[in-house]
Structure 1
Amino acid sequence: MTQYLTHQTIHVDRADLESSFPSSELDLRRQLVRFGRWVHRLGYTPGTAGNLSVRLDDHLILATPTGCSKGLLHAVDMVLIDNDGNKLSGTRNVTSEIGMHLAVYRMRPDVQAIVHTHPPIATAFAACGKALDQPICSEILMTTGLVPLAPYATTGTEEVSASLEPFIPDHDAILLANHGLLTYGSSLPDAFMKTETVEHFAQVCLSAHQLGGASPLRDIDIAKLQQARARYKLNASRGPSCR
């Protein structure tokens, strides 16, 4: 007789697998699930687009797998890799875009999490070859700084990380020409909120253009905001809680 897996059986199997992870790792896996669902609900990762990752420690990284909706992932779906991108455990495959995550982690030891998405308005700017680099809002200067545009590179190849490398040290958010957005920070909540902030800024820039153009902040005001951001980053020992 053919036997079928029931929803209850699958749930129990997942629970058994989850119980095998150390508590610190399980927490990060669940964060990836949580923020994967958030970017999916916001329409930032249509289909199977986008990927998220987080440092487990100095040598290990947890990442969302390839070919999966970010709104349908479970903690057991995450892939464990080393700093060279080699899969160490997981039933699913590593995303072909893992190279850009590795480049950020390599060049920015302070970064603990990365979010790559395709938010519609920010991606439209990227598709038009336009950086989000006009200092017209205080929030963007306080959160990510202005957002440069990396040259076009073929997705899933080493070209992508090479195109990003000139911008990684001095920016926390980068547009990828004809592709999407990359943000990173001290935690998954931090990287996620930077994604939201960039998409909101893109919408403001678009609306301001339609209204005849925005008035940029004065240099003295920009300097004050940059000083305030530096103080905030110095005093922030960790990212906001995701609970």
Structure 2
Amino acid sequence: MMENEIIEQIIKTAHHLYDRDMVIGKAGNISILDSTGEYIYITASGTNFKELTYDDIIKVKLDDLSYTSTNDLVPSMETSLHVGVYQKRSDVKSVVHVHSPYATGFAFSKKRLCQQEGFGEITGEYIAEVNYYPPGSKKLAEHASDALKNEDAVILKDHGVITVGKDIEEATLLCEYIEEIAKTQYISHVLNL
């Protein structure tokens, strides 16, 4: 896939996630690993998914995190997390991080989000969780990428959701799936009060 195609996919996905109310304000980030495995393309820090443009995508070298930017933008503060996933999972080609309302509600609560049928094999009772570490921190990158070694979706406590896939479509679909099961379980909790 050529650079322009990768960037267009990220922009299209960002607009889709915004339209689906999966991101709020400037929270969230998306990346794709290029076919050489040397670079990722990631949303810039502080960008608005509703208005994301070509210039808001930063090309980052996987081995040293150096980047090129046509403006003063810098890569997402979660770039190290994305890179950590790519370094630990050769099958992953895209990472999507959102603060979708229902799943993030679970992330800020004491309730766990149960796994449900509908997206692959059920591997445990709950969606995996990572304890809270400050956004953009080395500890968050390390713990989240470790959790994603054996999982395709992780709840980041007091933060949001991160998913991975063999392509951006799979990572995005999984994000939407997590939000839908969170919505279903929230309604179930309310009805059972």
Counterpart in 2 of 1:42?
Answer: 20
**Whole-Å separation in 1 of the counterparts to 2:44 and 2:3:** 16
Q: Comparing 190-199 with 37-46, which one deviates more in the overlay?
A: 37-46
User: In 2 relative to 1, CA 126–68 (structure 1 residues): closer, same or farther, beyond 3 Å?
Assistant: same
Q: Which runs of 5+ in 2 are unaligned?
A: none
User: Residue 152 of structure 1 contacts residue 163 of structure 1 at CA under 8 Å; is this kept in 2?
Assistant: no
The secondary structure found in structure 1 opposite 2:162 is strand
Counterpart in 2 of 1:121?
Answer: 102
Which structure has greater helix proportion?
1
Instruction: Give the number of the structure with larger relative contact order, counting CA–CA contacts within 8 Å between residues 6 or more apart.
Output: 2
- 1:29-86 per-position Cα deviation (integer Å, ceiling 9, x unaligned): 0000000001111222211110000011311110111111011112233100011322
* Misfit runs of 4+, over 6 Å: none
Counterpart in 2 of 1:150?
Answer: 130
User: In 2 relative to 1, CA 144–204 (structure 1 residues): closer, same or farther, beyond 3 Å?
Assistant: farther
Q: Does 1:74 align with 2:53?
A: yes
Identical aligned pairs, as a percentage? 25
State the AA in 1 paired with 2:87.
R
Q: Number of matched residues? A: 189
Superposition pairs of residues 14-163 of structure 1, within 5 angstroms: 24-56=2-34, 57-83=36-62, 84-91=64-71, 92-132=73-113, 134-135=114-115, 137-142=116-121, 146-163=126-143
Counterpart in 2 of 1:217?
Answer: none
The secondary structure found in structure 2 opposite 1:170 is coil
TM-score, with structure 2 as normaliser: 0.90
User: Residue 129 of structure 1 contacts residue 178 of structure 1 at CA under 8 Å; is this kept in 2?
Assistant: no
CA RMSD, Structure 1 to Structure 2 (Å)? 2.0
Counterpart in 1 of 2:159?
Answer: 179
**Whole-Å separation in 1 of the counterparts to 2:119 and 2:10:** 24
TM-score, with structure 1 as normaliser: 0.72
- 1:156-204 per-position Cα deviation (integer Å, ceiling 9, x unaligned): 1112112214411111000001000000101111110000000001011
User: In 2 relative to 1, CA 160–143 (structure 1 residues): closer, same or farther, beyond 3 Å?
Assistant: same
Q: Which runs of 5+ in 1 are unaligned?
A: 1-22, 214-243
